[in-house]
Chains A and B, each alone.
Chain A
Amino acid sequence: MIYRQGIVIGTCIFIAVVVELTLLSRLGIPGATPDLVVVTVVAIALAMGPLQGASAGFAAGILMDLSPPSDTLVGVNAIIYLIIGFIAGYWVDPRDRTLIIIMGITSLSTGGAAFATAAVDTLLGGSRVNWAEVPWITLSAALYGLLLTPIVVPVVGWLVKKVTPEMSLS
């Protein structure tokens, strides 16, 4: 069963990374890039649980760090997405899962990821982050996360239920 879980997680993450880097980041949308990867990690965590969420976050972060054109430190996105995946899977009660609450969680996650990336990069001595832009980037990332939720979360949830029926929590 663990293989099937791995396949579901891997496929979702891979598609999310490719679509984010080749489509979403090129649309020229103002502010942050719609963070499909974080929304997918949260969706996996909500559907499968904290351990799978954390593993998916780790895998997605490493892939984002290594795939071109990334020039950031390897491991930064990995630890941020890992924490997000774990928290989303651990603290959210399955009974609370109305669409409104899920949208709140994903938008907190995408906004938090954007802010945490800026903070960690600055802490590690990077000189790229322009802190005047951070609030706007964080807010727009949260907004786009909110908008992506009704599309991504049901699709991932359906896929998880279909491929790994033993995982369905509700």
Chain B
Amino acid sequence: MLSRRTKIILATLVVASLTFVILDLRGGDGPFSSARAAVSSILGGVQRGAATVFSPVTGFSEWWGTQVDQSGQIRALTDSNELLSTQLIESENDIARANELDALLRVASVGRYRVVPAEVIAVGPAQDFSWTVTIDAGTLDGVEEDMTVINGDGLVGRVLKVYNSTATVVLLVDPESSVGGRVAGSQEIGIVSGTGRQNSLQFQLLDPLGKVNAGDAIVTFGSKDGRPFAPGLPIGEVVDVSGTAGALARVATVSPYADVSQLSVVGVVVRPPREDPRDSVLPSAPAAAPAGGPTRAPAAPQTTDPAPGATSKPEVVQEDETAATPAPAEPGN
């Protein structure tokens, strides 16, 4: 039934894909890093454009509601009304985005992180079981591999791969992601790992006798030189603890502060703070800035430029002393 030529082509394609799998399985940078970079440089631009076009749809679920109303209006109203309603959506869009940037600024200024803002432009399909997104900032903006990614609510993930104008971020709920965490207000440390579900993380205490209770907040412990994770960033809140004190495996279920299913504006921490901000960034307790927090830190003259390359994005920096005190009008997230 199949011609000889068809069979040869099919066999070639099958062998080619199997070869790719085997080559990529060897790990490391492999032969595909340049291929990925090439595809990214083409698709990154297209994705950026498409994300702009689709932004009213993807950004806000309320949009569906307004759209249903509008479909009736559009028939009835004049051209000027159409123009006005479009402007309304755009400004709502802008206000929501500005609010997200404000929240990001608060986290960045309270914790004295230096942050490059970016927008999520593509998301990996759920069938891959990997939680990765593309953001529209890359090496040209000073982003490097293994930098921390945050939003106004807390930790989002870390930069996995970086290209010229885009970067791939692996989210903290990815099953292969793990972060050093600390129970806020105590010295209990442990490992926060993703479960693959968007609203739950696992927190495994290193000390089996350590105290952790439902309602406790978890912040990042911080890595060496702030990479891949800057210290003091809010991760989530403990909702459930399993295992009794002293048991070998004490695991707490943590609900992340950042809603990874509705990410829009995020920030890449291009420089961690000089001092661990401890618990001062947590959203629920703005008055609980402990001694040793950033209030005590001197307004350090920060002269080094973290991004020697051309920075096409303005960096969000708050250097003055007032920024170190937690924002007073901040009841929560």
B positions within 8 Å CB-CB of A:
2, 6, 9-10, 13-14, 16-21, 23-25, 32, 35-36, 39-40, 43-44, 46-47, 50-51, 54, 57-58, 61, 120-130, 132-134, 160-161, 163, 166, 168-170, 174-176, 195-197, 261-262
Q: Which residues of A contact B133 (CB under 8 A)?
A: 69
Known: A18-B50, A71-B132, A127-B175. A25 touches B21 (CB 8 A): no
State which residues 104-125 of A face B: CB under 8 Å. 113-114, 117-118, 121, 124-125
Residue of B nearest to A31 (CB): B126
Determine if B129 and A130 form an interchain contact, defined as CB atoms under 8 angstroms apart. Answer: yes
Question: Please, how many angstroms separate the alpha-carbon atoms of A80 and B23 in the complex?
Answer: 17
Q: Which residues of B contact A62 (CB under 8 A)?
A: 17, 20
Q: Which residues of A contact B35 (CB under 8 A)?
A: 66, 74
Kindly identify which residue among A54, A55, A78, A117 contacts B128, using a CB–CB cutoff of 8 Å. A117
Known: A58-B13, A71-B160, A130-B195. A27 touches B50 (CB 8 A): no
Residue of A nearest to B61 (CB): A28
Is A137 part of the binding interface, using a Cβ–Cβ cutoff of 8 Å?
yes
Q: Which residues of A contact B125 (CB under 8 A)?
A: 20-21, 24-25, 32-33, 35, 64
Determine if A22 and B51 form an interchain contact, defined as CB atoms under 8 angstroms apart. Answer: yes
Chain B nearest CB: distance from A23 CB in Å?
A: 5
Determine if A133 and B122 form an interchain contact, defined as CB atoms under 8 angstroms apart. Answer: no
Question: Please, how many angstroms separate the alpha-carbon atoms of A118 and B32 in the complex?
Answer: 22
Determine if A55 and B134 form an interchain contact, defined as CB atoms under 8 angstroms apart. Answer: no
State which residues 9-65 of A face B: CB under 8 Å. 17-28, 31-33, 35, 50-51, 54-55, 58, 61-65
Residue of A nearest to B130 (CB): A71
Question: Please, how many angstroms separate the alpha-carbon atoms of A58 and B9 in the complex?
Answer: 11
Is A73 part of the binding interface, using a Cβ–Cβ cutoff of 8 Å?
yes
Question: Please, how many angstroms separate the alpha-carbon atoms of A28 and B23 in the complex?
Answer: 34
Kindly identify which residue among B18, B43, B175, B262 contacts A130, using a CB–CB cutoff of 8 Å. B175
Q: Which residues of B contact A133 (CB under 8 A)?
A: 129, 196-197
Is A75 part of the binding interface, using a Cβ–Cβ cutoff of 8 Å?
yes
24 A-B pairs within 8 Å (CB atoms) are namely: A17-B43, A18-B43, A20-B125, A21-B123, A22-B50, A25-B124, A28-B262, A32-B125, A50-B2, A54-B10, A66-B39, A67-B47, A68-B47, A70-B128, A73-B21, A75-B19, A113-B127, A117-B128, A118-B127, A127-B176, A128-B129, A129-B175, A133-B197, A141-B127
Residue of A nearest to B9 (CB): A51
Determine if A121 and B132 form an interchain contact, defined as CB atoms under 8 angstroms apart. Answer: no
Determine if B50 and A19 form an interchain contact, defined as CB atoms under 8 angstroms apart. Answer: yes
Determine if B32 and A66 form an interchain contact, defined as CB atoms under 8 angstroms apart. Answer: yes
Kindly identify which residue among A23, A70, A118, A121 contacts B50, using a CB–CB cutoff of 8 Å. A23
Is A153 part of the binding interface, using a Cβ–Cβ cutoff of 8 Å?
no
A 72-96 to B, binary, CB cutoff 8 A, 1 in contact else 0? 1111101100100010001000000
Determine if A82 and B122 form an interchain contact, defined as CB atoms under 8 angstroms apart. Answer: no
Chain A nearest CB: distance from B4 CB in Å?
A: 12
Q: Which residues of A contact B160 (CB under 8 A)?
A: 71
Known: A73-B21, A128-B175. A79 touches B47 (CB 8 A): no
Q: Which residues of B contact A61 (CB under 8 A)?
A: 17
Determine if A26 and B123 form an interchain contact, defined as CB atoms under 8 angstroms apart. Answer: yes
Determine if A72 and B130 form an interchain contact, defined as CB atoms under 8 angstroms apart. Answer: yes
Q: Which residues of B contact A141 (CB under 8 A)?
A: 127
Question: Please, how many angstroms separate the alpha-carbon atoms of A66 and B16 in the complex?
Answer: 15
Determine if A26 and B58 form an interchain contact, defined as CB atoms under 8 angstroms apart. Answer: yes
Question: Please, how many angstroms separate the alpha-carbon atoms of A68 and B39 in the complex?
Answer: 8
Known: A23-B58, A50-B6, A67-B43. A117 touches B127 (CB 8 A): yes
